[in-house]
Amino acid sequence: MSTPATPSDHKTTPSDRSTARTAPSDRRTAKAAPADGAATRDRQIVPPEQKYAAELEFLAAYDSGPRPPGWRLTPRAVVTFVLGSDGGKLRCGRKSMAIEPKFVGERALVERCVVTLAGERGLLLVGEPGTAKSMLSELLAAAVCGTSALTVQGTAGTTEDQLKYGWNYALLLAKGPSREALVPSPVLTAMTTGAVARIEEVTRCLPEVQDALVSLLSERRIAVPELAAGEDGQLHAAPGFTLIATANLRDKGVSEMSAALKRRFNFETVGPIADLAAEVELVRRQSTAAVARAGAPYAVDDTVLEALVTAFRDLRTGRSVEGWDVERPSTVMSTAEAVSVATALGVTAAYLDGDGDLLGRLPGQLIGVVRKDDPADTARLLGYWDGAVRRRAEQGAATWRTLWDLRSALEG
């Protein structure tokens, strides 16, 4: 995992503080709620702006250097928020804090994303499923404007109204077209408050819906024909507005983006985690949190986790760590799927498995993932067992010997 280089001798000065800009007081939609409030206690998932509220507040004070219009943190502090402080504590006055790493990836990728947003240009995160594109977009939005909630989920049923605006028909009938009767989309709310809007799976939207973004990203305003002509019928973007979209490479052919829309985005590819140890640690951390939400202690040991992640990586890349060829299944063996399997094993250990034989359950979990898209992929998993798993067993690896002995579980 790339580590941020944060200046250890950074000090805040009165003059620095005077130049630090915060979001205007009328930006209610971009205000982060406290992480320990009653509103967050009964949630399965807490938004990053609330979960990491203390970190965001600390970083805003720690680095009070110049920041783009409307930004809550400096670009450097945004990178630190996403990637962490490399285990060390940052100091600001009498306070010190270690910033938790939240995204595993190259520092250069995160920096390019931050620079794109600072330039008020659209950012499109593309990649295979399960590579944390949505997580990265959430973290960036939370750090930049204080909310990740201004989001549209792209589907084949997404309409242009969901990207622009609709109407409160009761008010429309009572008073006619007016600003009061207009119901803004999350994108329009972000635009008029100078925040970051997020569109998940933009290529799942129909082309004519996608193209509603073209003029919005180029002209930075939305015309509302129903309102009075002229300036009154134009809704303009406030400083700081930008847009982050995600697109799944497996969905490239669902609704191909137009050339005009592509030109208005900077594309960044989010790839799988390169380092085995980093991926094991991420799977451990996220599955531990998921099992804790289920009200149980985590009892999946490192041996099982490493075997799980190794198998996922071998099948994902088509090559084992030793360099042996592996036939890839059609499904994507993503890190997110590995987290789901590790979570399932953790819940099993807590509630069902009295003898704690989690390694014995791993083949069944793997086959459930592999044949998700195509039942014929079972043969490819058997080929992996007959190849890489068998060869590791023959070389004396006890874990893989156990897995090889469980081959019959794949034929059920």
Whether residue 200 is predicted with pLDDT greater than 60 in this model: the reply is yes
pLDDT of residue 58: 97
Nearest-angstrom CA–CA distance, 286 and 307: 17
Whether residue 352 is predicted with pLDDT greater than 90 in this model: the reply is no
In this structure, how many other beta carbons lie within 10 angstroms of the beta carbon of residue 90? 21
Whether residue 285 is predicted with pLDDT greater than 80 in this model: the reply is yes
Whether residue 9 is predicted with pLDDT greater than 70 in this model: the reply is no
pLDDT of residue 264: 94
pLDDT of residue 293: 87
Nearest-angstrom CA–CA distance, 14 and 17: 5
Q: Calculate the dihedral angle through the C-alpha atoms of 73, 79, 81, 83, rounding to the nearest 10 degrees.
A: 180
Whether residue 81 is predicted with pLDDT greater than 60 in this model: the reply is yes
Give the helix ranges, DSSP H, for 233-275: 259-262
Stretch among 7-21, 166-180, 249-263, 370-384 having the lowest mean pLDDT: 7-21
Nearest-angstrom CA–CA distance, 405 and 213: 55
What is the third-level CATH fold of 122-269? Rossmann fold (3.40.50)
Q: How confident is the model at residue 412 (pLDDT cuts 50, 70, 90)?
A: low
Residue of 33, 73, 26, 76 whose CA lies nearest to 53: 33
Whether residue 27 is predicted with pLDDT greater than 60 in this model: the reply is no
Whether residue 11 is predicted with pLDDT greater than 80 in this model: the reply is no
pLDDT of residue 229: 58
More confident residue, 411 or 245: 245
pLDDT (mean) for 33-55: 75
Residues 6+ apart with CB under 8 A from 93: 12, 61
In this structure, how many other beta carbons lie within 10 angstroms of the beta carbon of residue 375? 9
pLDDT (mean) for 387-399: 95
Residue of 185, 183, 160 whose CA lies nearest to 171: 183
Give the helix ranges, DSSP H, for 90-211: 107-118, 133-145, 160-163, 169-175, 186-193, 207-210
- Distance from chain centroid for Cα 334: 13
- Over the stretch 292-303, which tens digit does the pLDDT of each residue have? 988 889 989 999
Which residue type sits at 335? T
Q: Where do we find the tokens 């459930």?
A: 368
Q: Is the dihedral of CA 270, 275, 276, 280 positive or negative?
A: negative
- Distance from chain centroid for Cα 379: 32
Nearest-angstrom CA–CA distance, 209 and 218: 16
Whether residue 41 is predicted with pLDDT greater than 90 in this model: the reply is no
- The helix (H) or strand (E) run that includes residue 310 is helix 302-317
Nearest-angstrom CA–CA distance, 107 and 8: 18
pLDDT of residue 251: 67
Q: What percent of the chain has pLDDT over 90?
A: 70
pTM over 0.75: yes
Nearest-angstrom CA–CA distance, 64 and 5: 17
Q: How far is CA 153 from CA 52, 157, 204, 356, in A?
A: 24, 10, 9, 40
Q: How confident is the model at residue 305 (pLDDT cuts 50, 70, 90)?
A: very high
Whether residue 20 is predicted with pLDDT greater than 50 in this model: the reply is no
- Over the stretch 308-345, which tens digit does the pLDDT of each residue have? 999 999 999 999 999 999 999 998 899 999 999 999 99
